[in-house]
């Protein structure tokens, strides 16, 4: 496990507790959300082919955003939280996903368990830090998920910039589940692997990281 720039450490307990979530939420709306998404997520995690309708895509996107927010809370000791209190409140009260958030799903050839995330600065038209972005990548079983949220500065609120990832076979590897476009047949045409090359799962972790690394 590694948080921020701290040294990596081996933990014996592979299911660590996140203390930023209260009992009422953990056993209430979060528990209900887990049960709601479990039938669909179970198929994707176990590598079962199916068609995802609008409700299923929405449920997965809400669950994925919830995970991204909880994961964001684990670095509160070294940087301010990325997702605002209002974002977290609206997700809890009405399952509202923050504006300018995109969620993609991909299929992984192996079965794994991983979550990683970064906050990224977006420079636009020579403006340093025009946006503050957050990317969270989750791998559960055969399912890979990526949540990408953009927060623009006030000057770009009305016309937020669009970002492109590093070149890759993303159209074949990933299915956009939020914002919803249409029904989706699962799995996508291409599959992430653990080998080197254009299909490696490691490329998904880093597909938005460009330029020089900045301090947390």
**What confidence tens digit (pLDDT) does each residue in 89-139 have?**
999 999 999 999 999 999 999 998 888 988 888 888 878 888 899 999 999
Is the residue at 121 inside a domain?
Answer: yes
Condensed to tens digits (0 to 9), the pLDDT of residues 44-98 reads 999 999 999 999 999 999 999 999 999 998 887 778 889 999 999 999 999 999 9
Closest by CA position to 192, among listed 204, 201, 205: 201
What's the structural domain count of the chain?
1
Is the residue at 12 inside a domain?
Answer: no
Q: State the DSSP code for 36.
A: H
Is the residue at 14 inside a domain?
Answer: no
Is the residue at 1 inside a domain?
Answer: no
Is the residue at 122 inside a domain?
Answer: yes
Is the residue at 77 inside a domain?
Answer: yes
Is the residue at 6 inside a domain?
Answer: no
Containing structural domain, residue 117: 23-158+166-205
Q: What token pair was written down for 129?
A: 């830090």
Contact 73, 67 (CB under 8 A): no
Is the residue at 8 inside a domain?
Answer: no
């Amino acid at each position: 496990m590694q948080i921020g720039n701290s040294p990596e450490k081996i933990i014996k307990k592979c299911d660590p507790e996140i203390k930023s979530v209260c009992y009422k939420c953990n056993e209430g709306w979060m528990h209900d959300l887990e049960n709601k998404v479990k039938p669909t997520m179970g198929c994707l995690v176990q590598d079962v082919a199916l068609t995802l309708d609008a409700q299923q895509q929405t449920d997965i996107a809400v669950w994925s955003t919830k995970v991204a927010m909880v994961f964001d809370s684990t670095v509160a000791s070294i940087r301010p939280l990325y997702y605002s209190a209002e974002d977290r409140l609206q997700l809890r009260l009405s399952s509202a996903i923050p504006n300018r958030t995109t969620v993609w799903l991909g299929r992984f050839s192996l079965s794994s368990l991983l979550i990683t995330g970064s906050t990224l600065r977006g420079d636009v038209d020579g403006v340093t830090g025009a946006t503050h972005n957050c990317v969270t990548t989750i791998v559960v079983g055969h399912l890979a998920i990526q949540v990408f949220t953009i927060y623009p500065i006030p000057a770009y609120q009305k016309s937020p910039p669009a970002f492109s990832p590093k070149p890759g076979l993303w159209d074949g590897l990933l299915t956009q589940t939020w914002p919803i476009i249409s029904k989706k047949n699962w799995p996508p045409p291409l599959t992430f692997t653990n080998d080197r090359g254009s299909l490696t799962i490691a490329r998904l972790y880093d597909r938005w990281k460009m330029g020089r690394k900045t301090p947390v």
